[in-house]
């Protein structure tokens, strides 16, 4: 099957991070504003795009564009520029609906967080999701949540996300935060079962009240957890290439997509960090079809079904 067939489909991506979607070219342009910086475009291409699989999730995270965003973004306008860059790439790949998430805590130094996010929202019209980081101090997460409540009411974000190392910061630590999220009526997606186990998915749903799960493929280890996802109607945002890049799995065939589909678990193929992984959503889907892991009809059904799970 040609990539053109897939590209012509109007696609949905519910799991994509700005930190792994900003292009080396955009970072290079920001870098050029600093006359003291002599780095070339090739430097950023080497530093921001994986050439081989990372050995762990933590190693993968170090490859994201986060450190360059922190170093070179000095104004709200810089951040708007970065989001426009990511939005243009999505449009070029015919992604008609994109929820783009980012860790607001990385940019609190730029000023009022509500004004900052409003500037991005109004300039780009992107469906924004604010990421709460597991490794941030509790006070910072509650500060971001306070802003999120205002931004959701004004229509400038569509939901919130919990992300980070599940091993060191398990779901149980975030019950008070999740309680406030649910109390505010904020749509909530939780990274779970990415590199841990099915139990993480279970607690994300039962203890945190997740509306969707980021990754979540480890749910396939436990039939009861898959049944829970079906019963609670919780969609998994499955990012296959990212799962290989973090060494969560060794091959595409090992990722239990078929097991999840056969169990009637709602899933959608997403990209996570397309620039870091060197992919597009069209490529990701074509790759799975070529490997006979899913069919074109199954993907089209995912797209139709995913409309029920968007946070907009």
The predicted pLDDT at position 115 comes to: 97
**Residue-range domains of the chain with CATH:** 3-306 (3.20.20.140)
Q: Tell me: pLDDT of 243 over 60.
A: yes
Specify whether the CB–CB gap between 211 and 187 falls below 8 A.
yes
Q: Name the pLDDT band for 1 (thresholds 50, 70, 90).
A: low
**pLDDT tens readout for residues 120-174:** 999 998 999 999 999 999 999 999 999 999 999 999 999 999 999 898 999 999 9
The predicted pLDDT at position 35 comes to: 65
Q: Please report, for residues 12, 209, 250, 278, the alpha-carbon distance to residue 180 in angstroms, rounded to integers and kept in the order given.
A: 28, 11, 38, 37
The predicted pLDDT at position 312 comes to: 87
The predicted pLDDT at position 84 comes to: 96
Q: Name the pLDDT band for 36 (thresholds 50, 70, 90).
A: low
**pLDDT tens readout for residues 60-78:** 988 898 999 999 999 999 9
Mean pLDDT of 266-278: 97
């Amino acid at each position: 099957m040609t990539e053109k067939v897939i590209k012509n489909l109007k696609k949905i991506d519910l799991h994509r991070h700005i930190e792994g979607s900003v292009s080396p070219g955009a970072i290079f342009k920001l870098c050029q504003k600093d006359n003291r910086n002599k780095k070339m475009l090739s430097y950023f291409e080497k530093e921001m795009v994986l050439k081989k699989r990372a050995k762990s999730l933590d190693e993968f995270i170090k490859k994201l564009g986060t450190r360059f965003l922190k170093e070179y973004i000095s104004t709200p306008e810089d951040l708007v520029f970065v989001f426009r860059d990511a939005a243009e790439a999505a449009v070029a790949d015919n992604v008609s609906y994109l929820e783009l998430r980012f860790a607001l805590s990385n940019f609190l130094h730029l000023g009022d967080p509500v004004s900052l996010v409003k500037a991005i929202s109004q300039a780009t019209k992107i469906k924004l999701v604010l990421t709460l980081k597991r490794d941030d101090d509790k006070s910072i997460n509650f500060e971001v949540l306070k802003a999120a409540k205002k931004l959701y009411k004004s229509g400038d974000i569509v939901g919130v996300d919990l992300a980070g190392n599940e091993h060191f910061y398990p779901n149980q630590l975030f019950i008070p935060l999740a309680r406030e999220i649910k109390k505010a009526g904020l749509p909530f997606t939780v990274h779970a079962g990415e590199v841990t186990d099915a139990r993480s998915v279970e607690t994300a749903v039962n203890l945190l009240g997740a509306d969707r799960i980021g990754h979540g493929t480890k749910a396939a280890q436990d039939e009861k957890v898959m049944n829970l996802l079906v019963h609670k109607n919780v969609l998994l945002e499955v990012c296959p290439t990212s799962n290989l890049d973090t060494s969560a799995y060794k091959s595409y065939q090992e990722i239990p997509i078929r097991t999840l589909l056969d169990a009637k678990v709602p899933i959608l193929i997403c990209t996570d960090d397309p620039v870091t992984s060197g992919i597009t959503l069209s490529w990701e889907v074509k790759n799975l079809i070529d490997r006979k892991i899913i069919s074109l009809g199954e993907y089209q059904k995912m797209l139709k079904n995913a409309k029920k799970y968007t946070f907009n």
